[in-house]
A and B are shown apart, each in its own frame.
Chain A
Amino acid sequence: MFFLRIFSFFIISALIAVPVSATQFYFGTNTKELPLGYPSEVGIFLNTEGDSVNAFEGEIVVPTGVEIAEIRDANSIATIWIEQPHYRDGRVFFSGITPGGFAGSQGYLFSLIAISQKSDPVLFTTENERVLLNDGQGTEARVTSGSLALGSTLSTSTGNVFVPPYDTEPPDIFVPMVTRDTHVFEGKYFAVFTAQDKGSGIWGYEIAERRNWFGEVKSYDQLEWKSAESPYVLLDQSRKSTIYIKAIDYAGNERVVVLPSRSLLFYEQPLVWCILGAIALLLVLSFAYGRYKASR
């Protein structure tokens, strides 16, 4: 069903696409009319016209009377976002890259979950588009703008109302890294991470740092999670803490990956200090006992 959903969305979108002779952003929907007051999905695609491209950015002008409820990017060709698609002042801004490049006519970027509040026809357009070729030089490709005119309807039917995908799978396993560099964050340690979720898309990340003096935490619920974005400057710059990073998808499924602390030196091990403390205590007690015996 999921497979068919992806294919049907792409195929129907392709029907709406306009043939072009240069790289073009274009829109795709399952419907030609937005259901008044209900969410509907408007996809943004890239047709590279045979070129291999690896970086793209632009703005989508959202028509007045249309509210953007969500922006989803599951299955996007943009595997890393420079600027995650976000809505601000009537526009959606985006900027991303595809390492290795992408060539194709139906490069899916992301979807706007749009709610129309007016009965007049609406027009989505793109502006300030840039697409760069995958040639190692950052050469600009010729780009043409995209637009999509949609009507409005009072009726709702299967296809024109957005239904969140049924997603029970957690985000894919991902590999965060901890590093530091003299050029950023005053040389402090920071974590970098990015996850993918093919079902509903990544909603966000949370992070927790904890010094596990006496073993691993038994449940992730015991951790103090806080919302985070990559790159994330670590609170514990001594790197003695275990780092937990949680990726959460739009359906609420979670994937937690754990980055162990650095290898602690023997004198940094709490257990060593416990043993030394116990030995010291025994020595004190035996000394006191000796004094006590001598005094009698």
Chain B
Amino acid sequence: MRFRFFLWSIFGFIPILCFAQLYSSSNFVLENPTLTLSGGRATSPSFEYYSAIGETAIGEYTSGNFLYRSGFLYFPVVSTPILSATAVDGQVVLSWTAASPELGWTVSGYEIGQSTVSGGPYTFTSVGNVLGVVRSGLSNGTTYYFVVRTLDAFGTVIATSSQVSAMPVGSSSPGGGGGGFIPASASVTFSGRAYPESTVTLLRDSQIAVTTIAGPDARFEISLSGLSGGSYIFSLYSTDSTGNRSASVTIPVTLAPGSSTHISGIFIAPTIAVDKSLVRKGENIAIFGQTAPEGTVIISVHSGEEFLVNTPSDENGVYLYNFDTSPLELGDHSTKSRVTLAGEASPFGNSVPFAVGLTTSTPVEERVCKRADVNCDGRVNLVDFSIAAYWYRRTLSSEFLEVESARLNGDGKIDLVDFSIMAYYWSG
């Protein structure tokens, strides 16, 4: 490991020193870097490189304030918050999902931008590290536009949500005539990006509420009306052109009776698959899937250390990366992906396992019954839950032991872990 790091240090920097090679990533370009080994900093016209790796003596290559990851260009990423706005009398209730930072960023808080003009300019107000706020003193009948910005530990903006709009309306009093008060129903609209012409499914409290088809640009919009006022757990997922299902995006929402809520900026994570379940060390493994067209897909290969690579998605949203397994240790690994496009970033999607070995690779076996699909009908829903619940805290029959072993966690019993697996793969 140390030797490998030493090689990285030497051979990773030689080209920079000798050829002033240009390096780039999705969010910066490193031009004409110079590296000083005499205790100074590596600089370029546009940045300073702190904690530079320099081998000043054999064995001296540690730092107390950074973490070394493979690859010279290492960059933090953060998912974009999903913002929802619910208009009530003279107020708009805003809530958003937490931005999930990775690789170094820490979210310290959020700012709300407010405008009466679509697209801004917005007036920003810091609201602290919270996931909801009520904007009051607003004029009924006026449309307001909001965005939420994520701040890092230094107060720098690292992500901005899509814009949502809301128009406060005066509360309607129940009519006279002696009839009972009938609360007005609420509606909610979800919009965002999935995959080109893919099916997007919306679950309301774990049951399928509606499905729609995304456009060729992967954008979708789903509306649901006739809802009671109250708190809901909405989940969305998409299915790509090969039938592979995305990870779910879950959005808890509290709806006021009669309100209309818009939730925008949903960015469904890419689907992912690999062409081998076992690959010989040094050979390539193809990592592929589907996402929004012409985005930058960030693929993470997780093992002892994390490897990050970028690849573009084509006009159909399809991406493919042939990953060289040479740097990977023998053993089990996994890969997952996320996408950035036009300033928005999806969260990481499902993780796919594979192994690196010494022998020949084998193709990925298509499972007849997918994970958590207890009754093998292609769905994970209340039926599978009920079958598993039947065996909850009971001794499993020999037949069901095989099912539990193949499709759940395989510990020979049905407990909370099996239901957690089921909840993760839930399709409604």
Contacts and interface: CB of A to CB of B under 8 A. Distances in A.
Nearest to B385: A80
Contacts of B254: 3, 6-7, 75
A138 B418 contact: yes
B386 A192 contact: yes
Nearest to A133: B420
A231 B386 contact: yes
Given A135-B424, A138-B417, A192-B386, A80 B206 contact: yes
Contacts of B208: 175
B386 A99 contact: no
Contacts of A193: 382
- DSSP majority for the B interface? mixed
Leading 4 A-B pairs by shortest Cβ distance: A198-B230, A99-B426, A138-B417, A100-B235
B382 A192 contact: yes
23 contacts: A2-B229, A2-B230, A3-B254, A54-B423, A55-B419, A74-B230, A82-B389, A97-B422, A98-B233, A99-B235, A99-B428, A100-B233, A100-B250, A101-B424, A134-B424, A138-B420, A169-B183, A177-B382, A179-B383, A181-B375, A194-B382, A196-B205, A231-B389
Given A80-B385, A190-B386, A199-B230, A3 B417 contact: no
Contact of B417 (A6, A80, A132, A182): A132
Contacts of B390: 183-185, 231
B426 A103 contact: no
Nearest to A196: B205
Contacts, number: 171
A80 B203 CA distance: 13
B375 A179 contact: yes
A38 interface: no
Contacts of B392: 82
Given A3-B254, A99-B426, A136-B425, A77 B233 contact: yes
Given A130-B416, A172-B228, A177-B382, A100 B426 contact: yes
A103 B97 contact: yes
Interface stretch (B14-22, B26-34, B144-152, B397-405): B397-405
Nearest to A83: B392
A251 to B, nearest CB: 12
A199 B252 contact: no
Contacts of B232: 198
A6 B250 contact: no
A204 B351 CA distance: 39
A3 B257 contact: yes
B416 to A, nearest CB: 5
Interface of B: 88, 97-98, 100, 131, 180-183, 203, 205-208, 227-233, 235, 248-250, 252, 254, 256-257, 259, 350-351, 371, 374-375, 381-383, 385-387, 389-392, 397, 399-400, 403, 409, 416-426, 428
Interface of A: 2-3, 6-7, 50, 52, 54-57, 74-77, 79-80, 82, 95, 97-105, 107-108, 130, 132-138, 168-169, 172, 174-175, 177, 179, 181-185, 190, 192-194, 196-199, 230-231
Nearest to B86: A3
Nearest to B130: A105
A146 B228 CA distance: 32
A168 B228 CA distance: 11
Given A80-B206, A196-B205, A2 B416 contact: no
A79 B233 contact: yes
Contacts of A75: 230-231, 254
B213 to A, nearest CB: 21
A185 B375 CA distance: 14
A175 B392 CA distance: 24
B416 A57 contact: yes
Contact of B423 (A3, A101, A181, A185): A101
A99 B399 contact: no
Contacts of B391: 183-184
Contacts of B383: 177, 179, 181, 192
A101 B230 contact: no
A183 B203 CA distance: 27
A125 to B, nearest CB: 20
